[in-house]
């Protein structure tokens, strides 16, 4: 068995509306945090073109990054994967749009979905000391429509069923644990999908504005062994500057 230290981290898009919590003002804290934790895998959400460039410039010596923007021109927000270059071999990678036409960039479900396309980024990796490959999957569900999220959940579980291999899934699902969309994932009758973050607290805190954060960020796996050291990084901010408006989550996941 190998132990893979996995993080999910919504970075919060770069926008001047965030004032002192604009992304570029948060980068020193983010970089210090990532260098301290040194996860093996990271699933980033809300990584815009600017953020992807910053990630590649600052993490390139340790990590390989995968992922494109969700727009028709492959620009815009993305669900970037990062894996330690010296620990994993990448076998294949995919980006799919969460829609009835997953190969068409910027496609959506329509219905009550926001104007934002939604994607899943995934890579088939093999740990240097592992016995077999596994899939690292990262996604970000719609922030407006429950019906759209339920369709996204159905598509995601179908993707996972077709893999027939171990997987680690990270993401911001924009849904509470008892919502229909999350129950569709957690109670899926196909490939087992275990929420290793079931016992942690809320993750979306709106730069410290929410007294009780929402639990909308998750790490899932079909690994038979229980994940260890699952923890929420409850960042208190420094002089009002936070890592993000979401708390990162970290878990040690054992795979064959």
Q: What is the pLDDT of residue 256?
A: 78
Phi and psi of 112, rounded to 5°? -95, 15
What total number of domains does the chain contain?
1
**φ/ψ bin of 54: left (φ > 0), alpha (ψ from -120 to 50), beta (otherwise):** alpha
Q: What is the pTM of this model?
A: 0.97
Interior CA angle at 141 toward 139 and 142, to 5°? 150
Average pLDDT over residues 156-171: 96
Parallel/antiparallel/unpaired status of strands 41-45 and 81-84: antiparallel
Residue 198 maps to which CATH number? 3.60.10.10
| Confidence band for 106, pLDDT divided at 50, 70 and 90 | very high
23 and 245 Cβ atoms separated by less than 8 Å:
no
- For 148, the token pair is 């759209």
Burial per residue of 8-43, b for 16 or more beta-carbon CB atoms within 10 angstroms, e otherwise: bbbbbbbeeebeebebeebbebbeebbeeeebbbbb
pLDDT for residue 227: 85
pLDDT tens-digit readout, 168-216: 999 999 999 999 999 999 999 999 999 999 999 999 999 999 999 999 9
Phi and psi at residue 199, to the nearest 5°: -100, 5
pLDDT of residue 39: 98
pLDDT of residue 1: 86
Average per-residue pLDDT in the chain?
Answer: 96
Mean per-residue pLDDT, 28-39 = 98
Decide if pLDDT at 226 tops 80.
no
Q: Which of 89, 4, 12, 78 is nearest to 38 (CA)?
A: 4
pLDDT at position 224 over 80: no
CA distances from 37 to 31, 99, 160 (A): 10, 35, 28
In this model, does residue 98 exceed pLDDT 80? yes
Residue 135 has pLDDT above 80, yes or no: yes
Percent pLDDT > 70 in the chain is 100
Distance CA 176, CA 181 (A): 9
Domain span at 158: 2-255
Residue 89: pLDDT band with limits 50, 70, 90: very high
Distance CA 109, CA 21 (A): 32
């Amino acid at each position: 068995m190998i132990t893979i230290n996995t993080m999910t981290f919504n970075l919060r898009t770069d926008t001047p509306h965030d004032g002192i919590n604009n992304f570029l003002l948060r980068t020193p804290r983010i970089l210090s945090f990532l260098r301290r934790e040194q996860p093996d895998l990271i699933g980033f959400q809300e990584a815009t073109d600017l953020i992807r460039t910053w990630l590649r410039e600052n993490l390139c010596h340790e990590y390989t990054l995968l992922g494109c923007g969700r727009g028709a021109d492959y620009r815009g927000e993305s669900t970037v994967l990062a894996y330690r270059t010296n620990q994993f071999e990448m076998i294949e990678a995919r980006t799919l749009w969460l829609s009835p036409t997953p190969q068409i960039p910027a496609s959506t479900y329509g219905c009550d979905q926001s104007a934002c396309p939604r994607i899943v980024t995934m890579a088939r990796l093999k740990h240097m000391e592992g016995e077999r490959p596994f899939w690292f999957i990262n996604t970000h569900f719609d922030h407006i429509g429950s019906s759209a999220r339920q369709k996204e959940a159905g598509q995601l579980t179908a993707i996972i069923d077709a893999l027939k291999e171990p997987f680690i899934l990270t993401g911001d699902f924009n849904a509470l644990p008892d919502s229909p969309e999350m129950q569709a994932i957690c109670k899926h009758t196909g490939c087992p999908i275990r929420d290793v973050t079931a016992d942690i607290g809320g993750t979306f805190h709106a730069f410290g504005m929410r007294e009780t954060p929402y639990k909308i960020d998750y790490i899932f796996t079909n690994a038979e062994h229980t994940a260890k050291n699952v923890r929420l990084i409850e960042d208190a901010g420094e002089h009002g500057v936070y890592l993000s408006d979401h708390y990162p989550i970290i878990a040690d996941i054992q795979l064959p």
